[in-house]
Every structure is written in C-alpha cells, then in structure tokens.
Structure 1
C-alpha cells in the first residue's frame, strides 16, 4: 500500500475550514499526523468485510442486563449548586458564548 502524504496546503485548507489559525510548525506537525490517519483509513478500506454483519452496538443489547428505571431521590437546589462557580438563586450562571 502506498503512503498518502498530505501537503501543507491541504492542511492549511482543513485548518481554514475548521476556522483554526496554525503556525508553520503546527502545520508540519498536523501534516504528519493527518497523513498517518489517512494511511490508516486506507488500510481499513482494504479489508474484506463482505461477510461481517453490520452492527449498531458493540455488544448484544438484547442480552445486556440493564437496571430498572426507578425514580429516586433528587438533589435539592442547594445541593446541586453547592460546587457551582457562579449561581443566581437556584440557577447555574454560565459564561455568555454568543455576543
């Protein structure tokens, strides 16, 4: 199998799509890492999986024992907010992310 080495330009394009600003050193580091990932995907694509049945879960959900869904005691607002870095009354305060 041949090695798929990505170019710096391809990495810059991916960074632009992800809205990332990368230094030249970061571009070179990611170029190597992404090339390795692309090579690994190529190895996976070469596998014959025609006899493998598709699965949704890694384990058989039908035979996995699950606990009963029983209502239990809830935390009081004070208990729930005890470790909150910021609160207002019985609400969590979070940093604004949309201007």
Structure 2
C-alpha cells in the first residue's frame, strides 16, 4: 500500500492537523516508510509463538469479596437535584 499527497492531506484534515503544503511530501515519505515497516511485520513467521499479554508473568492477588462501605444512600443522594424512591431521577427522554 502506498500513500499519495491527497491521502496525506485527507489524513491531516481528519486528524484536525494544519499541514503546510511544503510538509506534504516529507509526510508522505514518512507514512510510506511506516507502512513498509508494518508490511515487514506481516511477513514474520509467528506460527510457533504463543500469544502474550505482557512481557513478564503477572498474577492477580486474590482477596475476599467483602462490602467495605455502604449505608450512605442519603449522603449520596444529598446533592441530587431531584431524588426519587432512593434513586437519581432524570427527565424522561423516550416517549
């Protein structure tokens, strides 16, 4: 895949980046280099490599699932503009 000058301008527009005309050609070259590197990564044989989520092994610490706070419903709803039946009341938006 190759990027042309019009594509660079379109990408800059979508990214809301003001790109001067003299920077279009250098940016085109940079984007084509990046896409070339990505294509090289696609050529690497990874058939025998296990998928990983991190470089080092991580294990989660387990803890008991206990309620450590609560019974503060009145405090939570104290700043609500219009609490109703113990919940936040919001305007109806669907008829």
- TM-score by length of structure 1 reads 0.54
Gaps spanning 5+ residues in structure 1: where? Answer: 63-99
Distance 2:52 2:20 in 1: 41
Does residue 50 of the first structure (1) align with residue 65 of the second (2)? no
Deviation at 1:58, TM superposition (A): 1.4
Does residue 10 of the first structure (1) align with residue 7 of the second (2)? yes
Distance 2:25 2:54 in 1: 37
Q: For CA contacts below 8 A with separation 6 or more, give which structure has more relative contact order.
A: 1
Aligned residues: 59
CA RMSD, 1 decimal: 1.3
Deviation at 1:13, TM superposition (A): 1.1
Deviation at 1:21, TM superposition (A): 1.4
Gaps spanning 5+ residues in structure 2: where? Answer: 60-95
Q: 1:39 aligns with which of 36, 39, 55?
A: 36
